[in-house]
Amino acid sequence: MNILILGSGGREHAFAKKIKESTLCKNLFVAPGNAGTAKIATNIEIGFNEFEKIAELCLKNKINLVLVGPEEPLVNGIRDFFEAQPNLKHINIIGPDKAGARLEGSKEFSKNFMHKYGIPTAVSASFTKSTFLEGLAYLEASNMPIVLKADGLAAGKGVIIAQNITDAKLALEEMLLKSKFGKASDKVVIEAFLKGVELSVFVLTDGTNYKILPEAKDYKRIGENDTGLNTGGMGAISPVTFATNKYMALVEKRVILPTMEGLKKEGIKFVGFIFIGLMNCEGEPYVIEYNVRMGDPETEVVLPRIESDLVSLLVATAKGNLNEVELTINPMNAVTTVVVAEGYPEEYKKGDIITGLEAVENCVVYHSGTKLNKNNIVTNGGRVFAITGLSNSLEGAIAKSQKGAKEITFEGKYYRKDIGLDILRSV
Ligand code: AMP
Ligand code: GLY
């Protein structure tokens, strides 16, 4: 069959690699893709929000399945767009419809959903411009630190953790009255700060049946020892030691089952990936957020651990018979280190020539922000590569990933040297 992946990051390169391994995939397209996907698939210069052009591309190339990488097209209703047109209806989309995508597209919706279906999460309330004063009073009555979240999509930047009441009030004012995150912060969710260790849990569902994919731990901060600004993710590991079978059974009971049940009760047929961001608070899982797609860089450690044919899993997801397909997971340790451009997550340069790729061995190089420029591969984003090491030991996987990250060169290259070390020290 012919498959189209939408997106251009390391996540999409990882999907492309895994899909290419399947004998079920005939032709693979990525829109817009990067220099890595260009090597194994056909890149098409179309943005992932250009639905009309995507539809045209699908018809022209007889695409049977579209895997949506990022959240934006889902929140904008790409599934609804395809389902509404008779000539596109037969194309299977992996990703929820607009209603399902609200789990990520609106923090208020997702918090109300969690509260309604008894899913453990931090206490919260939401405010708008017209209830700004009530928001200030709510802050006054809350313990610090406190978390303020823009309701809508804000490219991963819409969360502020305020350490004291002055900063909290200022943040609320900037978000609600000064449109700090544009329209996304017209509404703000204020929620209690949860102390613990984060865990990313991934569920693939056909709307009824589901499979729990390997869990991962993401390293979100730019600096070592989790310091500095929040990023899209600077590295990830899988498996995660504290996510024991017992813990994951608790997550399934307290979080996954009520989420599936809640979706059904809301009349949402969710077809795709649910990424549950959890805070592990002394053995108790609390949901921080839902995402309606896979994580990046988590995908770069999750997919290498899946032994089953990914295309079979995706087809079963689309057809509603995921219960009939086996999911086999490799117990190996996977560690990915993200190599970024100087300045990321703030302003950074693009177009720097990358060298040293051929020297990288014993690990998987996932391209993220790269592009082909004449005969060179050049930087084209803040996160440039995700380098995944696989080994029977966590230590071995860290070493492979770090060695690979070291060998790649471009001006201003930066990567964290402590990915996985916290977990290694804790065991
Ligand atoms: P989000 O965009 O919801 O993933 O939030 C970004 C990051 O902020 C999360 O990955 C956490 O590190 C942090 N965060 C969000 N909500 C909370 C919370 N209630 N307590 C503590 N940290 C949080
Ligand atoms: N790595 C976090 C995310 O993909 O949202």
Sign of CA dihedral 20, 22, 26, 32: negative
What residues does 190 pair with on adjacent strands?
125, 148
Q: Tell which one of 201, 213, 292, 298 to mutate to probe ligand 2, the residue whose CB is within 8 A of the most ligand atoms.
A: 298
CB 289 near ligand 2, within 6 Å: no
Please list, in sequence order, all residues whose beta carbon lies within 8 angstroms of the beta carbon of residue 332, skipping any fewer than 6 positions away: 304, 305, 390, 391, 392, 397
Contact 395/325 with Cβ under 8 angstroms?
Answer: no
Q: In what order do the strands lie in the sheet with 146-150?
A: 124-128, 187-192, 146-150, 159-162
Q: Which two tokens stand for residue 316?
A: 């079963």
Q: Which pLDDT tens digits describe the chain residue by residue (427 residues)?
A: 999 999 999 999 999 999 999 999 999 999 999 999 999 999 999 999 999 999 999 999 999 999 999 999 999 999 999 999 999 999 999 999 999 999 999 999 999 999 999 999 999 999 999 999 999 999 999 999 999 998 888 877 788 899 999 999 999 999 988 888 878 878 899 999 999 999 999 999 999 999 999 999 999 999 999 999 889 999 999 999 999 999 999 999 999 999 999 999 999 999 999 999 999 998 999 999 999 999 999 999 999 999 999 999 999 999 999 999 999 999 999 999 999 999 999 999 999 999 999 989 999 999 999 999 999 999 999 999 999 999 999 999 999 999 999 999 999 999 999 999 999 998 7
Q: Is 420 touching ligand 2 by the criterion CB < 6 Å?
A: no
Tell which one of 217, 296, 303 to mutate to probe ligand 2, the residue whose CB is within 8 A of the most ligand atoms.
Answer: 296
Beta bridge partners of 340: 383, 414
The answer, yes or no, to whether any atom of ligand 2 lies below 6 A from the CB of 218, is yes
Q: Is 328 exposed, middle or buried (0-12, 13-18, 19+ CB in 10 A)?
A: exposed
Ligand index nearest the alpha carbon of residue 291: 2
Type of residue numbered 35: A
Q: Give dist(CA 280, CA 195) in Å, integer.
A: 8
Residues having CB closer than 6 A to ligand 1 are 122, 147, 159, 191, 193-194, 198, 220, 230, 277, 288-289
Residue for token pair 């004063």 = 133
Give the residue whose CA is nearest to atom 19 of ligand 1.
193
What's the CA gap between 320 and 204, in Å, rounded? 11
- Global pTM? 0.96
Give the CA distances from residue 102 to residues 119, 120, 204, 253, in Å, rounded to whole numbers and listed in that order: 17, 19, 17, 23
How far is the C-alpha of 366 from the C-alpha of 334, rounded, in Å?
13
